Amino acid sequence: MPRKARVVERGLLRKGFRLADTHHRRFVYHTVDGEEPQPVTTIMSHGADRDISDRLLGMMARQLHLTRRQFDDLIDCRFSQADYEAMLRRDGYIR
At 30-49, the pLDDT tens digits run 877 777 666 788 988 766 67
pLDDT on residue 73: 96
Which residues have C-beta within 8 Å of that of residue 24, sequence separation ≥ 6? 43, 44, 45, 46
- Mean pLDDT for the stretch of residues 60-74: 95
- Superfamily grouping for domain 3-90: Hypothetical protein. (3.30.920.30)
Q: Give the pTM.
A: 0.85
pLDDT on residue 95: 80
User: Alpha carbon of 15 to those of 5, 23: distances in Å?
Assistant: 16, 23
pLDDT on residue 47: 66
Average pLDDT, rounded, for the chain: 87
